[in-house]
Amino acid sequence: MTPSTAGVSLGEGEPYAIAIDPGDQLAYIVLEAGALDIMTINADGTLSVSSQVTMTSPVAVAIYP
């Protein structure tokens, strides 16, 4: 993955935790300022913003198959 892909910015602060879905298609990134960024992992390993969810004090992310 290339988190510094041009045009991709993490909107709510620095990454705090990250999880990749079992199909290697999505990256879930918990941000220290209180958000969860969901990024699409492109075929070339770059990231594209999919969506963002605002949360209260997130500390981790886990994926349950």
Q: For position 28, what pLDDT does the model report?
A: 92
Q: What is the pTM of this model?
A: 0.74
Q: For position 35, what pLDDT does the model report?
A: 85
In this predicted structure, the answer to whether residue 2 has a pLDDT above a threshold of 90 is: no
Q: How confident is the model over 7-64, as pLDDT tens digits?
A: 455 555 788 889 999 999 999 998 887 888 899 999 998 889 888 888 887 788 888 8
Domain around 3: 1-65
CA distances from 25 to 8, 38, 41, 63 (A): 16, 10, 5, 13
In this predicted structure, the answer to whether residue 1 has a pLDDT above a threshold of 50 is: no
Nearest to 59 by CA among 20, 24, 1, 19: 19
> Into how many domains does the chain fold?
1
Nearest to 23 by CA among 6, 3, 43, 37: 43
